[in-house]
Amino acid sequence: MNDERLVVTGTGIRTIGQMTMESIAWIKKADRVLYIISDPIAEEMIKTLNPSGAESLQSFYAENKPRLKTYHEMIDRTLHCLRSGEIVCMAAYGHPGVFAYPTHESVRRARAEGFKARMLPGISAEDCLFADLNVDPAMAGCQSFEATDFLVNGRMIDPSSNLILWQVGVLGDTTFKPYVYDVRGMPQLMQKLYSYYSPYHDVYIYEAPLFPGVEPVIRKVPLYWLPNSGVSAISTLYIPPSMPPRVDTALSQALGLNSQG
């Protein structure tokens, strides 16, 4: 624990109870804790753990400002602190490696400059989704895409598997909005999903709870109702399988699987 100069850690979705002991130790140890968190409880916890070194990076966000520009400013600030000789802990909401470009890029650039850097795992919204919706990704497989990427990059899916679409509430918008996003790509998303699923196939709008004692948001709606389901910036779309898998009978027999059970 003495060699790292940059440690990137996650606070979990619900900071109280989901932050690991290892993450807490690094937040305490660091000269500078650069955090990307909007949850006031998580922010207060970090300030309590490291009163002199805690510094929010949220100020780099601005309405209608491209998110990529904000991310590069966060990375530059992180590298500046490293070059100044500080031990830096970069703390991000959820898992620091899931939908977190500035954390990955900070580690990459720090290593390129000769600093020892590592990333610690955390609890992501996907982990919470598997628990709250009682989904085992091993049972039918699981496909996971960022919603805009899924739409514009021609991603192909298997409707016999689980599908998770992240950030469906900011679909097609690359800027930051403090409140409501213009989900301008929803008609195109619906058209693509209809090529795989019936309009009446049930889908789930999911939002992980941020605070202890708060229930998750789980809205089950038919696919055709998705545009009217009130998706927000933190909404995740979960689509369960709509058909059984296509079994390769010859291969199954060759492996002796048909004789089991």
22-56 pLDDT, tens per residue?
Answer: 999 999 999 999 999 888 888 999 999 999 999 99
Q: What's the predicted TM-score (pTM) here?
A: 0.84
Task: Give me the CATH number covering residue 90.
Answer: 3.40.1010.10
Task: Please tell me whether residues 130 and 227 are part of one structural domain.
Answer: yes
Q: Is residue 150 part of a domain?
A: yes
Q: Which of 35, 61, 71, 197 is catalytic?
A: 71
Which residue, 95, 119, 143, sits at the end of a domain?
119
Burial class of residue 168 in the structure, from the number of CB atoms within 10 Å of its CB (0-12 exposed, 13-18 middle, 19+ buried): buried
Quick: pLDDT tens for 78-87. Answer: 999 999 999 9
Task: Please tell me whether residues 10 and 107 are part of one structural domain.
Answer: yes
Q: Which of 67, 109, 118, 219 is catalytic?
A: 67
> For the chain, how big is the Rg over CA atoms in Å?
21
Q: Is residue 207 part of a domain?
A: yes
Q: Is residue 260 part of a domain?
A: no
Task: Please tell me whether residues 107 and 93 are part of one structural domain.
Answer: yes
Task: Please tell me whether residues 34 and 115 are part of one structural domain.
Answer: yes
Question: What is the predicted pLDDT for the residue at 42?
Answer: 87
Task: Please tell me whether residues 110 and 135 are part of one structural domain.
Answer: no
Task: Please tell me whether residues 11 and 112 are part of one structural domain.
Answer: yes
Task: Please tell me whether residues 101 and 132 are part of one structural domain.
Answer: no
Q: What is Dmax (Cα atoms) for the chain?
A: 65
Q: Is residue 28 part of a domain?
A: yes
Task: Please tell me whether residues 131 and 235 are part of one structural domain.
Answer: yes
Task: Give me the CATH number covering residue 222.
Answer: 3.30.950.10
Total count of domains within the chain? 2
Could you list the mean pLDDT of each consecutive 10-residue stretch along the chain, which spans 261 residues? 85 88 95 92 93 95 88 96 97 92 96 96 94 95 94 93 93 63 81 97 94 90 94 92 88 76 46
Q: Is residue 256 part of a domain?
A: no
Tokens 């753990």 correspond to 49
- Quick check: helix, strand or coil at residue 144? strand
Is 67 an annotated catalytic residue?
yes
Domain containing 109 equals 6-119
Which residue, 119, 152, 180, sits at the end of a domain?
119
Task: Please tell me whether residues 89 and 158 are part of one structural domain.
Answer: no
Q: Is residue 198 part of a domain?
A: yes
Q: Which of 35, 93, 197, 206 is catalytic?
A: 93
Which residue, 86, 101, 119, sits at the end of a domain?
119
Q: Is residue 246 part of a domain?
A: no
Angle at 14 between CA 40 and CA 142, to 5 degrees: 135
Task: Please tell me whether residues 172 and 208 are part of one structural domain.
Answer: yes
Task: Please tell me whether residues 149 and 105 are part of one structural domain.
Answer: no
Going through 23-128 in order, the beta strands assigned E by DSSP cover 32-36, 54-56, 88-92, 117-119
Is 246 an annotated catalytic residue?
no
| Residue 10 per-residue DSSP state | E
Task: Please tell me whether residues 108 and 137 are part of one structural domain.
Answer: no
Is 71 an annotated catalytic residue?
yes
Q: Is residue 38 part of a domain?
A: yes
